[in-house]
Structures are given as structure tokens and as C-alpha cells.
Amino acid sequence: MIQNVTIIGIGLIGGSFALALKEKNIAKNIIGVDNNEENIEKAKTLGLINEALTLEEAIQKSNLIFVAIPVDATISVMAKIMPLITKNQIVVDAGSTKFDLCKMVKQYKNGNRFVATHPMWGTEHSGPQAAVNGAFEGKACVICNKENSAKDALETIENIYKKLGMHLVYMNAEAHDVHAAYISHISHITSFALANTVLQKEKEDDAIFELASGGFESTVRLAKSNAAMWVPIFKQNKENVLDVLNEHIVQLRKFKSCLEKENYEYLYELIDDANKIKRIIK
């Protein structure tokens, strides 16, 4: 059991991580750090954390620091954390982009105490109240640039995620950001765009509510995600997101052209090709 774990950012991911640490008896004491005082109070009320400290106080006291904040803030916060870290502490993050962060952390004396991870789970909700029990069970966790992390730090983090029921995937930070753009980031852009399309064309809120089927609801679910989280992700991973977005636009144009030209045979082929995803996702 780890004596003191600090979670920086007591929101959906940080809060769910806190619940998991408690459920699996991994941490004895959980310290919360958040620049939103309301989040801190909610986290205390919900029993997610045992105490709240300033960033500096928490680092001084902690064996493990888990960073779960928007990616635009992660680099600046990590620049405050890493100079204070000793060779006996471990720092781990949960961000959706990795290349810039890994490059920055490497410059510090104890940079090998950092383990870059991305637990592949999330919902459209935010805040401590969105924390979910068993959130990480059966999900994938990407560990990036493992060769840059000290052996004991890496093994500790691997063991924690395994205890949470996650299976581990290893890749370099650059590859991670490319794959994240294709698997995760484009899904959010598509959902945001579809929601805006429907809101622009359908002026009757009641009609949307009454007629929206399960398919529509699941497709636009991600459109409820927080802009404060996703704009920084798109910004940091801009080139990869643009690449996948351009390909997505090409595919949309194919569907549009089929309808305009009444080429239903090719439309059938496009849908049939899309069905091949069933081989990968059951």
C-alpha cells in the first residue's frame, strides 16, 4: 500500500482514480490539489480525498503524484512539480496528448521518475461528482516512452493499473498522439459538428428530444464534453487532428457525391466497407 498519493485535478478522471485507489486498497491517504475550491469541497464531501493541500505541500508529502488536468495546464504544472521531485517519488499523468509533455519532462534531473500514461476511458461529464466506481475495469491504458522511466517507477505504475483491471499498451509518444487523433479526437469533433448541424437545422427543441433515437443520442453524447478540456487537446495535437479530419471530410464527400449522383451502388459499397469495423469492434 502506498502511504500518500496526491491527485492533481479532482475531476472525472482524478476522482475516478481516487475511488479506484480506495476500492483496491492501493493508497492509505489521498491528497487533493485543485485550483477550484468548489471541486475540493465536493471531493471531500464525496469521500474522494482525505485532505487538501497546496501543490508544494502535497509534493513534499507524497510518494506518488497523479496529474489529471487539461493538457494545456499539464505542462506548466509539471514544470512546477518536476524540480521538486526526489528519486524516491513517482509522477504519472493521464493526459490525451503526450509528445510535448514527454519532451519537456526529459530535461529534468529526476525526469525518469515520470511515467507517461493515458487511461483510455472517459465520459462527457466533468467534476468530482462525475467520478465513477470501477471506471477503468477492462479498459486499455497506454504507457508512452517507457524506456525513459526508471524501472521501479514504471513497475509501480504498471502494477497499479493492472490492479484497476486495465490492460497495458506500449508505444512512443509520437505514435500515441497519431492514434489518439484517429480513435478518440475525431470522434469528439464529429460529435460536436453533428450537434451543431442539428441545432442549426432543427429549431424545435421538443422535436429533437422526442424524435432522437438511441443512435442519434449515442452519436452526439460526446458533444456534451467540456470545451475547456477538448480545445487544448485539439490545439496540442493539431497536425494529427487535421490529418484525420481531412480524411474524414473526404469520406463525407463520397457519401454526398453518391446521393447527388444517385450512385446507390457505390453508396452500398461505402457502407459495406464501413461494416468491416465489426471485425475489430464487436
Residues 166 and 188 in one domain: no
Contacts of 276 (CB under 8 A, 6+ apart): none
Distance of CA 28 to the CA centre of its chain: 25
Separation between Cα atoms, residue 29 and residue 120, nearest integer Å: 25
Note whether 251 and 266 are within 8 A (CB).
no
Residues 243 and 163 in one domain: no
Q: Which residue has the cell 482524478?
A: 14
Instruction: Give the domain-ending residue among 128, 151, 171.
Output: 171
Q: pLDDT per residue over 152-162, tens digit each?
A: 999 999 999 99
Residues 146 and 63 in one domain: yes
Residues 71 and 157 in one domain: yes
Separation between Cα atoms, residue 259 and residue 250, nearest integer Å: 15
C-alpha triplet 100, 102, 106: angle, nearest 5°: 120
Which pLDDT score is estimated for 278?
84
Residues 92 and 161 in one domain: yes
Residues 186 and 111 in one domain: no
Task: Write the DSSP symbol of residue 111.
Answer: G
Written as one letter, the residue type at 87 is K
Instruction: Give the domain-ending residue among 171, 203, 222.
Output: 171
Residues 161 and 113 in one domain: yes
Backbone angles phi, psi at 119, to 5 degrees: -65, 120
Written as one letter, the residue type at 246 is N
Residues 163 and 268 in one domain: no
- What DSSP element (H or E) covers 155? helix 151-163
- Residuewise pLDDT in 10s, the chain (282 residues): 899 999 999 999 999 999 999 999 999 999 999 999 999 999 999 999 999 999 999 999 999 999 999 999 999 999 999 999 999 999 999 999 999 999 999 999 999 999 999 999 988 889 999 999 999 999 999 999 999 999 999 999 999 999 999 999 999 999 999 999 999 999 999 999 999 988 887 777 776 766 666 677 777 888 999 899 999 999 999 999 999 999 999 999 999 999 999 999 999 999 999 999 888 776
- Boundaries of domain holding 258: 176-279
Residues 82 and 216 in one domain: no
Backbone angles phi, psi at 91, to 5 degrees: -120, 135
Number of structural domains found in the chain? 2
Distance of CA 208 to the CA centre of its chain: 29
Backbone angles phi, psi at 24, to 5 degrees: -95, 5
Strand partners, 30: 5
Contacts of 245 (CB under 8 A, 6+ apart): 186, 189
Instruction: Give the domain-ending residue among 171, 188, 214.
Output: 171
